[in-house]
């Protein structure tokens, strides 16, 4: 599954997993089967862009524009992060 991760892969949340704002504690959380994770601020920005239609490449472009950073640097970091989240059954591609 991870081997096929490419710029044109559409990134989705795995069924039963979602990013949600925790109103009471004022923070973002990943809701998953029988557990909740707290994503770090960078992961949070990536996950906010996961809408089931954006590709990996579009997410990278969006972030590079927003943080005025080189696309190849952002691309590498996001690729590593998304691969990790796929392994942890948070995302699918």
Partner 1 sequence: MTDTVLPPMSLLAELTHRCPLQCPYCSNPLALEPRATELATDEWISVLDQAAEMGVLQVHFSGGEPMSRPDLPALVRHAVGLGLYTNLITSGVLLNATTFPVLVEAGLDHVQLSFQDIDTANAEHVGGMKGAQARKLEAARLVVCEGMPLTLNFVIYRENAERVPQMLEAAVAMGARRVEIAHTQYYGWGLVNRAALMPTAEQLEMTTRAVDAAREKYAGTLTIDYVTPDYYADRPKPCMGGWGRRFINITPSGRVLPCHAAETIPNVAFPNVREGMLADIWRDSPLFNMFRGTDWMPEPCRSCDEREKDWGGCRCQALALAGNAAVTDPVCALAPDHDKVVEAISSLPAEPPPFRYRRYARAMDEVG
What are the residues binding partner 1 (CB under 8 A)?
2, 14-17, 20, 22-25, 29, 31, 33-34, 36, 87, 89
Minimum CB distance to partner 1 smaller for 3 or for 8: 3
Minimum CB distance to partner 1 smaller for 7 or for 84: 84
Minimum CB distance to partner 1 smaller for 22 or for 40: 22
Strands (E), the chain: 12-13, 18-22, 27-32, 35-37, 91-92
Write down the least CB distance from residue 83 to partner 1, Å.
10
Write down the least CB distance from residue 32 to partner 1, Å.
8
Strand order in the sheet with 18-22: 18-22, 27-32, 35-37
Q: Do residues 86 and 92 make contact, with C-beta atoms less than 8 angstroms apart?
A: yes
């Amino acid at each position: 599954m991870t081997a096929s991760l490419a710029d044109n892969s559409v990134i989705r949340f795995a069924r039963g997993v979602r990013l949600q704002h925790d109103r009471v504690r004022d923070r973002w959380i990943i809701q998953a089967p029988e557990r909740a994770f707290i994503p770090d601020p960078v992961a949070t920005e990536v996950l906010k862009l996961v809408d089931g239609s954006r590709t990996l490449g579009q997410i990278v472009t969006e972030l590079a524009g927003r943080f005025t950073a080189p696309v190849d640097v952002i691309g590498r970091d996001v690729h590593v992060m998304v691969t990790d989240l796929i392994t942890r059954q948070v995302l699918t591609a």
